[in-house]
Amino acid sequence: MSASATPDARASAVAARRQNWRRAAYRFQQSWLSIVGLAIVVLLFVAAVAGPSLVPYPADIAGGINTATRFEAPSIAHLFGTNELGQDVFTLVIAGARISLLSGVAVVVLGALAGTIVGALAGYYGGWTDEILMRIADLKLTLPSLILAMAVAAALGAGLVNTIIAIALTWWPGYARLVRGEVIAKKEELFVQVAQALGAGTGRILRRHILPNIVSPIIVKMSLDMGFAILTVASLGFIGIGVKPPTPEWGSLLSIARNYMPDYWWTAMFPGLAIFLAVFGFNLLGDGLRDVLDPRARR
Amino acid sequence: MLRFAVRRIVLLVPVIVGLSLLIFAIARLLPGDPVTLAAGPNATQAEIADLAREFGLDQPLPVQYWHYATGLVTGDWGQSIFTRRPVLEDLKAYLPATLELVVVAMVLAIVIGIPAGLLAAVYRDRWPDYVSRVVSLGAISMPRFFLGLLLQLGLAMWLGWLPLGGRFPLTEDPPPFVTGFLTIDSLWAGDPHAFGVALAYLALPAFATCLSPLATITRMMRATTLEVLQQDYVLTERALGLSQRLIIFKYVLKNAMSSTLTVIGLYFGWLLGGTVLVETVFDWPGIGLYATKAIVTQDFMPVMGVTLTIGVLFVAVNLVVDLLYGLLNPKVRYE
Amino acid sequence: MFNLTRRQSLTGATALVASAAMGGRAAHAQAKRILVIASNQDIPNFDPHIATGYSASMLLRNTYDSLVRTEGTPPKPVPQLAASWTASADGTEYVFKLDPAARFHDGTPVTAEAVRYSFNRLLRLNKGNAWMVAGIVDENSVQPVDAATVKIRLVKPFAAFLQVLPWLWIVNPKAVDANKGSDDGQTYLRSTIAGSGAWRVRRAEAGNLYEFERVEGGWQQGGGNLTGAIWKIVRETSTQRLMVGRGEAHIAVDLTSEDMDALKGRPGVVSIIEPEYRTFSIKMNTRHGPLADINLRRAVSWAFNYQAMLDAAGYAQLMTGPLPDGILGFDPTLAVPRMNLDKAKEFLAKSDYAKGGIKLVMNYVSGLDQQRRWGLVLLDSLRKLGIELDIKPMIWPDMVASARSPETCPDFFPVYQTANYGDPDNIAFAAYHSSRNGGWQNPVYSSPKVDDLIIRARSETDEAKRKELYVAFQKAVVEDAPDIFGVLEKRKLAMRSDVQNFHFTPVASNAIELFPLSLK
């Protein structure tokens, strides 16, 4: 809020915002697909947070093996069967939720952070800064991001952190474009002009006045991107450029299990389904959130 | 229009220069020492230095870029440090396979996506709409490599209807090279048997590839059709008793064209780079598989070649799409 | 097609596709008799004096000839270019009589001069298989007596000389000289064959397939009825297995134990599971880091879960010390560590790391699933000593680079050693002699005592004395605990039953020799 706002105006703004939220929540509830998405996502978060203490064979997560029970088909003792080292596939899949969510969130947050900074600078300063930053972003968007991420990840070496960095490096241009557009639009609005006239510095204006007002499209994009971030992490794992063993990452579990198809199909089926479910959940949720928070995009 | 086209084509030059610069920068910023790797297990320091000299890697970066850029123009795209084969030659060999896969997938997506989107719009908020929305979100969410494995498992391993992978039977010679698209080349050669075989090999990878653009095209068709159906003039015409079918054909067709174009522009480059996964699953001998192999061995000339090719193709296709937009919809103003 | 109903055209299309995919190919292949081999290794270089790896060996042994071939179990040298040979009593001089019919692909006869030319090129380049005769043969060793007789004087006796000859190929000097360039013909031979073998390369698609065809009017007599062969690169072993199951490939060479189980009892498929001199062990960094402490190495050796390793390996047997079972001089009575936690903890207490609490690093070749499994077995075993393990997948060239010095070498370095010749010297020298330090076969281990035993055994001509030396060698190595001695994996090949006249040999049996094979 700008410095000149009266307490009254502030109160009514808060009330209006609250009402917006209520309306949004109502719209969200109207769409059962979004609810399904939310349910899946909540389930994932539960698995990610509490998973390791819920699973039947927690030792397997850190690489515990039991070669006496290799390749057992799904049963009561092993809901999703066991793999080539006798590890419980159910345990690994549940434990994988934490890895996937964590890396998905990290990729999206890093990408959004970098993109926001670039986009805000470009949009605010305009001119040459804008020109250069945006041309780089445009060029980046024309390059095949998966191949680039693979190349960077391979050069950095295996490991979850390296994978995340590699993907985040290809992730920022979308945010930069989005933020730049919003910043240019907001820059012209009255409250920013006023703040500028009152002598607020660039950093302060961006941080206090512009960015808070463009958070919702960023959040919408982040939630829409979560699914794809998870998918990309899994893709790298599947190609074999990803985490180190014994990290139970879904994509790499699938890539290993590929060799045991069709006879030991369960080792591949469940990690694959987990990836699908996670991406699907976030996409449903993101779709719902977009309808709610960004009504302009509603169709 | 013509002036616009010429201007856009001229503007491609700085874009391509920028692309090559960006790719070069990324390749050089990466850690890893490809020369030592390529020199092999028993190489001495002197041999490593020789190899670095041979590939020009001992020179300052601007000089290296200059060599790279002039090479790009004169048809020398460098060579693989491992196989010592010229990158351009490899690209020529592998690109047609990927292009064929992507084009067929795009055609599939358009042929299925447009009617599906139309149906969803016409039956808005009824079951065809729900089914198409859930299915298209599901399709976007489906990891292509997992879908590929499932298709392989079902149709190739269990039922045995289609080949597991590859592009053409090993023991047969492919039709003589004309376009590099085996489907077209086999027809050109008047060989229906080879055509059938090529299709059988294409079926599963193309299906696995087409899902994302299919879902997008369906959703776009639905949205634009809904928009059209709510326009005043449509409502008026409907009030005047024009049948809905006629209205749809009259107005929606154009929208179909433009959403198709948009999707092609959006997805073409993305698919070229994204076929990596499908190519890995189906052992499809395209540039994705080629790039993967190079990436794994940190052989960066092929990786640069593939990235640049995809970047340039992406830019070029988008240019064509933009021009077609103009033809399709003269109201679009050219800046 | 347009007049058909939709259903009709659909069935029609399916039928077309099915017949095209299945029937057509079989009929076609029969007329031409092309053997398809599925392998996951590419053939990046055709140069007989540079290329290594079993895929290159396959290409080279079919397109080039060597003085002798190897055949049978145990492998015996049999004539190839050399129709006969004699050796002096002290084992330092061999005289080979060349087959007068032998011709290179361009029609030039294979002469003693070509043999000299090839050996000297191999030594000059000092790559590829040059190590097999390093210090044994020098540039003056090969002396043509006349066009069809060649004498090779060894610098010192080498018991396994005839065993390594199959891997030293003879090139056509005329062809190489004409394309010598500035690099001794390396550019030329990288993608061209200048040999005398029964086969030539018809089609080479890097990373995808290599097609061979029988050389018309080749000098070799007899052989099988194949008209061609395809070395198809198939990365996934499961895909290799399915291809053999479906008849799309005739031989698969990289199958896992699970694949073999899945193929069991499948009609039309023959499984070959045979012992081979191919050792797997996990080398420890004896020179740098915690494992330089011999007591820690012993603790690790006693803590390792060998049974789990064997379970995860499938068709394999545990190794007893550094040498493979059944090879000359192998000592079956050797006492080697087996999992015994009490003993492991005893040694741990004697080491500088009595409380554990350290983190060790193991690298492995990314994509080699068997190595990943054993890495996890090691991780699980070390946890019982309170030691953590960081398992890093790496590409093979990076692994090789890390072996260069004790400082860059990881704590654990897993290695397969495939014997090229059925002699203990192959493994003893390559994997334990200190002159190999810095290479992947023996990154760091060095012991003057072991070196001495290896060198003496190498040039000892009396078999009984040689055996004694190898027994002493095995004991000395086990004493030092430089490796976790792993498993001897069985060679696992699957073959269509219509492939005929295949005879297994326990050396490089995955580098299939095409000449004798037939297709029914």
pLDDT of residue C62: 95
List B299's β-bridge partners, or say none: none
> Contact B296/A240, CB-based, under 8 Å?
yes
Of B40, B161, B171, the CB nearest to C230: B171
pLDDT of residue C19: 42
pLDDT of residue A93: 93
Site of tokens 């080749």: C218
pLDDT of residue A147: 86
Of B37, B38, B157, the CB nearest to C242: B157
Residue that wins the pLDDT comparison between A70 and B5: A70
Model confidence at C30, pLDDT cuts 50, 70, 90, reads: very low
Provide Rg for chain B, Cα atoms: 24
- The answer to whether position B245 is within a domain reads yes
Q: Does B148 touch chain C (CB under 8 A)?
A: no
List B249's β-bridge partners, or say none: none
Q: Does C232 touch chain B (CB under 8 A)?
A: yes
pLDDT tens readout for residues C283-319: 999 999 999 999 999 999 999 999 999 998 889 999 9
> Contact C20/B197, CB-based, under 8 Å?
yes
- The answer to whether position B114 is within a domain reads yes
CB atoms within 10 A of CB A199: 7
pLDDT of residue B33: 65
pLDDT of residue C1: 31
> Contact A256/C372, CB-based, under 8 Å?
yes
Contact yes or no for C433/C458 (Cβ under 8 A):
no
pLDDT tens readout for residues B303-326: 889 988 988 888 888 888 888 877
pLDDT of residue B205: 94
Average per-residue pLDDT in chain C? 87
Residue that wins the pLDDT comparison between C113 and A195: C113
Which backbone phi and psi does C51 adopt, to 5 degrees? -65, 140
Angle at C56 between CA C52 and CA C59, to 5 degrees: 150
Closest CA to B205 of B160, B147, B290: B147
Q: Does C368 touch chain A (CB under 8 A)?
A: no
Chain B neighbors of C239, CB-CB under 8 A: 164-165, 283
pLDDT of residue C18: 43
Residue B294 has pLDDT above 50, yes or no: yes
pLDDT of residue C429: 87
CB within 8 Å of chain B, chain C residues 207-226? 207-209
List the C269-274 sheet strands across, edge first.
C199-205, C209-214, C228-233, C34-39, C251-252, C491-496, C269-274
Residue that wins the pLDDT comparison between C335 and B130: C335
Provide Rg for chain A, Cα atoms: 23
Q: Which residues of A touch C (CB under 8 A)?
A: 62-65, 67-68, 70-71, 84-85, 154, 157-158, 240-241, 244-246, 256, 258-261, 263-264
pLDDT of residue C348: 93
pLDDT tens readout for residues B231-279: 777 777 777 776 767 776 777 777 677 777 877 787 887 888 888 899 9
pLDDT of residue C29: 45
pLDDT of residue C10: 39
Q: Does C352 touch chain A (CB under 8 A)?
A: no
pLDDT of residue B34: 63
Contact yes or no for B298/B82 (Cβ under 8 A):
no
Instruction: Please report, for the domain that includes residue B279, its CATH number.
Output: 1.10.3720.10
Ranked by mean pLDDT, which of B83-87, B96-100, B127-131, C238-242 comes out on top? Answer: B96-100
Contact yes or no for C321/C334 (Cβ under 8 A):
yes
Model-wide pTM > 0.90: no
> Contact A155/B31, CB-based, under 8 Å?
yes
Average pLDDT value for residue range B156-166: 83
Count of the separate structural domains present in chain B: 1
- The answer to whether position B331 is within a domain reads no
Instruction: Please report all neighbours of C, defined by 3+ CB atom pairs within 8 A.
Output: A, B
pLDDT of residue B62: 86
Site of tokens 């996409």: A283
- Break chain A into its structural domains and give their ranges: 60-276
* Structural domain boundaries enclosing B146: 89-300
Residues B291 and C509: their CA atoms lie apart, in Å, by 31
- Domains observed in chain C: 11-61+197-275+491-519 (3.40.190.10), 65-173 (3.90.76.10), 278-489 (3.10.105.10)
- The answer to whether position B329 is within a domain reads no
> Contact B164/C32, CB-based, under 8 Å?
no
Provide Rg for chain C, Cα atoms: 25
Chain B neighbors of A235, CB-CB under 8 A: 143, 145, 277
Site of tokens 């001998």: B285
- From residue A246, give the alpha-carbon distance in Å to each of A97, A160, C107: 15, 12, 57
Residue numbers in chain A where pLDDT is lower than 50: 1-5, 297-299
Model confidence at C267, pLDDT cuts 50, 70, 90, reads: confident
Give the long-range contacts of residues C77-85, CB within 8 A, separation 24 or more: C77/C162, C77/C163, C77/C165, C77/C166, C80/C166, C81/C110, C81/C115, C81/C170, C81/C196, C85/C162
> Contact B170/C397, CB-based, under 8 Å?
no
Token pair recorded at residue C192: 């061209």
Choose the CATH number for A60-276 among 1.10.150.120, 1.10.3720.10, 1.10.8.10, 1.10.10.10: 1.10.3720.10
Of C236, C369, C392, the CB nearest to A244: C392
pLDDT tens readout for residues A186-237: 777 777 778 777 777 777 777 777 778 788 888 888 888 899 999 999 999 9
pLDDT of residue A294: 60
- The answer to whether position B228 is within a domain reads yes
Model confidence at C210, pLDDT cuts 50, 70, 90, reads: very high
DSSP element (H, E) containing A230: helix A215-239
Instruction: Please report all neighbours of A, defined by 3+ CB atom pairs within 8 A.
Output: B, C
Residue B298 has pLDDT above 70, yes or no: yes
- The answer to whether position B80 is within a domain reads no
Contact yes or no for C36/C495 (Cβ under 8 A):
no
Residue C342 has pLDDT above 50, yes or no: yes
**Which residues make Cβ contacts (< 8 Å) with residue A221, sequence separation at least 6?**
A112, A174, A175, A178
Average pLDDT value for residue range B73-84: 81
CB within 8 Å of chain A, chain B residues 220-259? 222-223, 226-227
Contact yes or no for C358/C308 (Cβ under 8 A):
no
- End-to-end CA separation in angstroms for chain A: 31
Model confidence at B115, pLDDT cuts 50, 70, 90, reads: confident
Residues C169 and C176: their CA atoms lie apart, in Å, by 14
Q: Does B61 touch chain A (CB under 8 A)?
A: no
> Contact B295/A147, CB-based, under 8 Å?
yes
- From residue A248, give the alpha-carbon distance in Å to each of A91, A99, A273, A287, C484: 9, 8, 15, 29, 26
Site of tokens 């209520």: A22
